[in-house]
Amino acid sequence: MKTIAQQLKLTELPFIIKDKKGNQIYFEDSDNFWRKKEFDKNSNEIYYEDSNSVWIKCEFDENSNEIYHETSDGSITDNRPKPIQEYTMEELTKILGKEFKLIK
């Protein structure tokens, strides 16, 4: 597959594309190495991929703290908040296998 610079028949490299916020979202050099990135609304890098088959996915909370990180080598760090499961009394009785009484 041809790179973006090859498709555009560019000869002056490096070739760089930036988004509206100035974040570099694509880079390509004369060795045909390329990388692309995606950013969230707070300019946090949420995706990275390059021509060496390396990729990284990230998620951030509303304060720009990284809460999820996954890499192409299989490494995952997941600190996303887990939802609190809600149960009815009937469901809890079924799960526990016996009657129970709630106390405060």
How many whole angstroms separate alpha carbon 51 and alpha carbon 7?
Answer: 16
In a domain, 103, yes or no: no
24 is in which domain, residue-wise?
4-96
Q: Residues of 62-88 as b/e, b for ≥16 C-beta within 10 angstroms?
A: eeeeeeeeeeeeeeeeeeeeeeeeeee
- For the stretch 62-102, pLDDT in tens is 999 999 999 999 999 999 999 999 999 899 899 999 988 88
Task: Give bridge partners of residue 24 from the DSSP assignment.
Answer: 18
- For the stretch 26-62, pLDDT in tens is 999 999 899 999 999 999 999 999 999 999 999 999 9
Kindly state the average pLDDT of the residues 13-28.
Answer: 97
How many whole angstroms separate alpha carbon 104 and alpha carbon 100?
Answer: 13
Cβ pair 11, 3 in contact under 8 A: no
In a domain, 101, yes or no: no
The domain total for the chain is: 1
